[in-house]
């Protein structure tokens, strides 16, 4: 789960406040001391922590909170608001040039995931109906150009490269090519280094001067904590960043970079990367991440993920089938495949309100188990998939033999299916039909 340790500490501290009918200034100070320690342990910049705590304290010890009928809830609300403010308060959209193409220069140190992020961003823009051109201007790292070309093939996006040319020429010609071919975005992948040096900065300054980018985005590795903040500060000072993309937020990172980097640089986080798949890039919503950290869930992001994965008419048809008790094992298999597309199970569940980080530890979907389920269902006859109640002992033995599993595994799947039918029928009554129902 995203920021699991920090989330766990903050949720435990604030849960104690919620349980109090009345709270004193001393209660607030004790809670904020715990919050401060949790943030420092998460590698949040100490100046940022101090500013954050002072802001919360000023608001939390006010008379409106102390005299409130639910003072604990009021403090939690203040912490949530200030946590979101710390990260930027609201979503920051990409710039759009008044005269296409919009040029985005992507910079960063080697190893931060720059090239793959350019590919992901291209895929994201394509889904928005845009026509991006990817530009391979990293001529130094072995296979960097080839990597971007492979990503372009997978995304069905053009990649501009010129063998033997210098990065400034490549970038300049790419912008001209985009204009010529009616491409509305140009995403330029630049070279990185293991650390910031004069040679790197000079080259980036030359590219910036040549193409006059509408966005200059730094790709920063969230796993590096305070180093990411320091790197961002150096790049911004010399190049003038317009935004940041944080990568590797799916890792066991402590979260300090995400919580510090906006306050420390003054530049907005525009996207976050949380996985290795090409679709694993999200627009950064500070208030939603604050909600997830505090255990309040993030239903909006979950709905958006689901809607990007499932066609609306397909979801409505499935909902009707569930309500009419016509849900079959074929539907079950289809839903399981859709669930896989949403991402790791612990990340999906962390978006649900009230799910604690402790509950998510160790939760993961075993790929082999998924393969077994698929094999079991495919070993059934069409009638058995539609009417699982006819599957008697003899049929179970045949299915187990045909799918290479035990009879016990077949029994377990059939039990899971029946439980899922009941659960999904309840879920269809809970609101938006666009959410794929979970098969586990």
Q: Is the pLDDT of residue 362 over 50?
A: no
| Residues 164 and 181: beta-carbon distance below 8 Å | no
Looking at residues 234-253, what average pLDDT do you find?
Answer: 84
**CA–CA distance from 317 to each of 125, 162, 321 (Å)?**
29, 49, 6
In tens, the pLDDT along 271-329 reads 988 778 888 898 888 887 777 777 665 445 555 555 555 555 555 666 666 666 677 88
What is the CATH T-level fold of the domain 102-291, as seen in this structure? Rossmann fold (3.40.50)
In tens, the pLDDT along 202-216 reads 999 999 999 999 999
pLDDT higher at 270 or 336: 270
Q: Is the pLDDT of residue 433 over 50?
A: no
Q: Is the pLDDT of residue 245 over 80?
A: yes
Name the percent of the chain lying above pLDDT 70: 77
pLDDT higher at 135 or 422: 135
pLDDT, position 12: 80
In whole angstroms, what is the distance from residue 368 CA to residue 163 CA? Answer: 43
Residue 238 structure tokens: 């010399």
In whole angstroms, what is the distance from residue 276 CA to residue 113 CA? Answer: 10
| Residues 160 and 174: beta-carbon distance below 8 Å | yes
Domain ranges of the chain: 4-86, 102-291, 301-427
pLDDT, position 174: 96
pLDDT tier at 432 (50, 70, 90 boundaries)?
A: very low
Q: Are 102-291 and 301-427 in the same CATH fold?
A: no
pLDDT, position 74: 77
Angle at 428 between CA 423 and CA 430, to 5 degrees: 100
pLDDT, position 179: 95
- The total of other beta-carbon atoms located within 10 Å of residue 20's CB is 14
pLDDT, position 121: 96
Looking at residues 146-175, what average pLDDT do you find?
Answer: 94
Q: What is the CATH number of domain 4-86?
A: 1.20.120.140
In tens, the pLDDT along 116-137 reads 999 999 999 999 999 999 999 9
Written in H, E and C, the secondary structure of the chain is CCCHHHHHHHHHHHHHHHCCCCCCHHHHHHHHHHHHHHHHHCCCCHHHHHHHHHHHHHHHCCHHHHCCCCHHHHHHHHHHHHHHHHCCCCCCCCCCCCCCCEEEEEECCCCCCHHHHHHHHHHHHHHCCCCEEEEECCCCCCCHHHHHHHHHHHHCCCEECCCCCCHHHHHHHHHHHHHHCCCCEEEEECCCCCCCCHHHHHHHHHHHHHHCCCEEEEEEEHHHCHHHHHHHHHHHHHHCCCEEEEECCCCCCCCHHHHHHHHHHCCCEEEEECCCCCCCEEECCHHHHHHHHCCCCCHHHHHHHHHHHCCHHHHHHHHHHHHCCCCCHHHHHHHHHHHHHHCCHHHHHCCCCCCCHHHHCCCCCCHHHHHHHHHHHHCCCHHHHHCHHHCCHHHHHHHHHHHCCCHHHHHHHHHHHHHHHHHHHHHCCCCCCCCCCCCC
pLDDT tier at 435 (50, 70, 90 boundaries)?
A: very low
pLDDT higher at 156 or 366: 156
pLDDT higher at 433 or 149: 149
Calculate the dihedral angle through the C-alpha atoms of 80, 81, 86, 92, rounding to the nearest 10 degrees: 110
Look up the CATH architecture of domain 301-427: Orthogonal Bundle (1.10)
Looking at residues 241-252, what average pLDDT do you find?
Answer: 81
Name the percent of the chain lying above pLDDT 90: 33
With 0-12 CB in 10 A as exposed, 13-18 as middle and 19+ as buried, what is 199? exposed
pLDDT tier at 230 (50, 70, 90 boundaries)?
A: confident
> Cis ω on the peptide bond leading into residue 77 (within 30° of 0)?
no
pLDDT tier at 410 (50, 70, 90 boundaries)?
A: very high
């Amino acid at each position: 789960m995203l920021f699991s340790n920090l989330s766990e500490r903050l949720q435990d501290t604030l849960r104690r406040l919620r349980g109090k009918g009345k709270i004193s200034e001393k209660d607030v100070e004790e809670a904020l001391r715990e919050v401060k320690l949790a943030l420092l342990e998460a590698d949040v910049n100490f100046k940022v922590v101090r500013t954050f705590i002072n802001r919360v304290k000023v608001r939390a010890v006010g008379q409106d909170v102390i005299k409130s009928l639910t003072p604990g809830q009021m403090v939690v609300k203040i912490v949530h608001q200030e946590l979101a403010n710390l990260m930027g308060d609201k979503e920051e959209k990409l710039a759009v040039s008044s005269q296409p193409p919009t040029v985005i220069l992507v910079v960063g140190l080697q190893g931060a995931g720059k090239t793959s992020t350019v590919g992901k961003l291209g895929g994201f823009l394509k889904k928005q109906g845009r026509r991006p051109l990817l530009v391979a201007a990293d001529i130094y790292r072995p296979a960097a150009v080839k990597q971007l070309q492979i990503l372009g093939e997978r995304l069905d996006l053009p990649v501009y490269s010129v063998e033997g040319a210098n990065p400034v020429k490549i970038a300049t010609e790419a912008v001209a090519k985009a204009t010529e071919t009616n491409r509305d975005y140009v995403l330029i992948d630049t070279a990185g280094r293991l650390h910031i040096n004069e040679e790197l900065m000079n080259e980036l300054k030359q590219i910036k001067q040549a193409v006059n980018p509408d966005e200059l985005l730094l790709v920063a590795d969230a796993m590096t904590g305070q180093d990411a903040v320091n790197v961002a500060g150096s790049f911004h000072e010399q190049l003038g960043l317009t935004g940041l993309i944080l990568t590797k937020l799916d890792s066991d990172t402590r979260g300090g970079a995400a919580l510090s980097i906006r306050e420390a640089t003054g530049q907005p986080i525009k996207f976050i990367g949380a996985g290795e798949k090409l679709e694993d890039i999200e627009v950064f919503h500070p208030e939603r991440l604050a909600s997830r950290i505090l255990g309040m869930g993030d239903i909006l992001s979950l709905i958006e993920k689901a809607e990007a994965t499932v066609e609306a008419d397909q979801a409505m048809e499935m909902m009707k089938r569930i309500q009419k008790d016509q849900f079959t094992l074929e539907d079950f298999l289809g839903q399981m495949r859709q669930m896989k597309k949403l991402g790791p199970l612990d990340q999906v569940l962390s978006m649900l309100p009230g799910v604690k980080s402790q509950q998510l530890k160790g939760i993961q979907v075993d790929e082999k188990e998924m393969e077994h389920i698929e094999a079991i269902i495919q070993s059934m006859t069409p009638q058995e998939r539609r009417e699982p109640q006819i599957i008697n002992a003899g049929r179970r033995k045949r299915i187990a033999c045909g799918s290479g599993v035990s009879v016990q595994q077949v029994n377990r799947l059939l039990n899971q299916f029946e439980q899922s039918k009941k659960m999904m029928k309840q879920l269809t009554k809970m609101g938006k039909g666009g959410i794929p129902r979970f098969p586990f």
